[in-house]
């Protein structure tokens, strides 16, 4: 287990095409949903306005901001940031700049800080940044991904980007190996099995495998049927050093993690 305390990051999507429809919410439902995620045990709420599922197409930054703007305003006016940390699942400076002024304190960048403007914003606002590894981009990432050694290559990329972020003045960094982002089932399993290899980098590790297709490749199942496999992946990730679990089903994960912790502590 990690030296960091285990935390759950609950997912809230405000787009039309996120792969798990139960995580999509309209503005008028969003505050209620956020409060439920917090009550269920989420310490971080990750809000995304653009789908990053395989094959998804990019959205103009102005449209992304339009989708998230009102929710960010409501979070700020209701002071919900006093109850949990808020993360923006985005790599667009326009969007990131807006929400970091509205109580958000984490930037979850699936491109792994490829845009230096994002790094500058994280440093300016003293925001925590999540650096994720992805091969190619969401449109093409699952078309025959190839690595010589997936663990070594992902680790090298994350280390390089973390050092770059620090050189810009970013103080809080979380690493994400990017399960399902430009990886085959074998790549995903190898990364999960070897998470301890990333511990010596010294940063917190986030894992997000919630209801992903890797589970379907092991046991054929629809998105709605993948909660047991999700929890299995996430508990094993905690055993191997992850401390932040990004998931759709917060209440179920909270119970599973508490049971795991009770066994560890006895």
What's the CA gap between 99 and 264, in Å, rounded? 38
The answer to whether the beta carbons of residues 207 and 243 sit under 8 Å apart is no
| DSSP symbol at 24 | B
What's the CA gap between 91 and 51, in Å, rounded? 12
| DSSP symbol at 56 | P
The answer to whether the beta carbons of residues 126 and 107 sit under 8 Å apart is no
Q: Which residues have C-beta within 8 Å of that of residue 12, sequence separation ≥ 6? A: 23, 25, 30, 33, 34, 37, 45, 46, 47, 48
The answer to whether the beta carbons of residues 34 and 67 sit under 8 Å apart is no
Task: Choose, from 43, 246, 251, 258, the residue flagged as catalytic.
Answer: 246
Question: Would residue 246 show up in a list of annotated catalytic residues for this protein?
Answer: yes
Task: Choose, from 7, 67, 212, 226, the residue flagged as catalytic.
Answer: 212
Question: Would residue 211 show up in a list of annotated catalytic residues for this protein?
Answer: no
Helix ranges (H only) for the chain are 27-40, 61-77, 93-99, 116-124, 150-167, 185-193, 213-218, 227-239, 250-265
Q: Catalytic residue positions?
A: 212, 246
């Amino acid at each position: 287990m990690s030296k960091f305390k285990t935390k759950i990051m609950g997912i809230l999507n405000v787009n039309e095409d996120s792969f798990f429809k139960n995580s999509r919410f309209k503005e008028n439902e969003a505050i209620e949903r956020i409060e439920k995620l917090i009550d269920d045990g989420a310490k971080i709420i990750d809000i995304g306005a653009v789908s990053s599922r395989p094959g998804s197409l990019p959205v103009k930054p102005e449209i992304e901001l339009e989708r998230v703007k009102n929710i960010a305003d409501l979070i700020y006016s209701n002071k919900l940031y006093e109850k949990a940390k808020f993360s923006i699942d985005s790599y667009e400076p326009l969007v990131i700049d807006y929400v970091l002024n509205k109580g958000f304190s984490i930037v979850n960048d699936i491109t792994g800080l490829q845009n230096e403007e994002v790094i500058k914003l994280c440093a300016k606002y003293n925001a925590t940044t999540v650096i994720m590894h992805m091969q190619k981009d969401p449109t093409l990432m699952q078309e025959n991904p190839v690595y010589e050694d997936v663990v070594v290559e992902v680790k090298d990329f994350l280390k390089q980007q973390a050092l770059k972020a620090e050189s810009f003045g970013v103080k809080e960094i979380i690493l994400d190996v990017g399960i399902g982002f430009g990886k085959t089932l074998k790549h995903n399993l190898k990364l999960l099995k070897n998470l301890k290899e990333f511990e010596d980098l010294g940063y917190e590790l986030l894992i997000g495998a919630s209801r992903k297709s890797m589970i379907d490749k092991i046991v054929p199942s629809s998105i709605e049927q993948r909660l047991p496999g999700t929890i299995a992946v996430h508990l094993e990730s905690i055993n191997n050093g992850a401390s932040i679990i990004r998931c759709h089903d917060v209440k179920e994960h909270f119970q599973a993690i508490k049971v795991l912790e009770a066994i560890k502590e006895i």
